[in-house]
Amino acid sequence: MLKDAATAVRERAYAPYSNFKVGAALRTASGAVHVGCNVENVAYPEGTCAEAGAIAAMVAAGETAFVEAFVIADSPSPVPPCGGCRQKLAEFAGPDAKVTLATTAGQLFETTVGALLPGSFGRAHMEPADG
């Protein structure tokens, strides 16, 4: 179950600066589940988000598309992915891919990759314009 995978990997987050642990899990069409947690750094901008870690694990395992994502944190309400992670998620899933945002207390918010990043920049925008 994606929720269990995300919950378990969240415990391994390295977040000594924010003390805010995040876990993410991606399920691909093959049924495989890839997980990631946030990994912070004393040079703060060098930290990476849980979603980025899960994407890296998926690509390292040889897959480049997910069909469903689950993100969990200990927060008063389900934590929305940051802007950069929305673009990263959009790179590896269609707009209809389900994304569940969750709190450790059990609140769930279901959305999609497309809803998280409306008007997103995509490959089609790099096509040369006619004329």
Catalytic residue numbers read 51
Q: Return phi, psi of residue 9, to 5°.
A: -70, -25
**Token pair 């918010």 in the structure block, residue:** 109
- Would you say 30 or 77 has its CB closer to ligand THU? 77
Q: Smallest gap, in angstroms, from Cβ of residue 128 to ligand THU?
A: 35
- Would you say 49 or 58 has its CB closer to ligand THU? 49
| Residues near ligand THU, by CB under 6 A | 15, 18, 20, 22, 38, 40, 47, 49-51, 71, 79, 81-82, 85
Q: Smallest gap, in angstroms, from Cβ of residue 32 to ligand THU?
A: 21
Q: What is the dihedral of CA 118, 110, 11, 36, to 10 degrees?
A: -40
The DSSP element (H or E) to which 108 belongs, if any, is strand 108-112
Q: Smallest gap, in angstroms, from Cβ of residue 126 to ligand THU?
A: 27
- Rounded to whole angstroms, the Cα distance separating 124 from 13 reads 36
- Rounded to whole angstroms, the Cα distance separating 7 from 14 reads 14
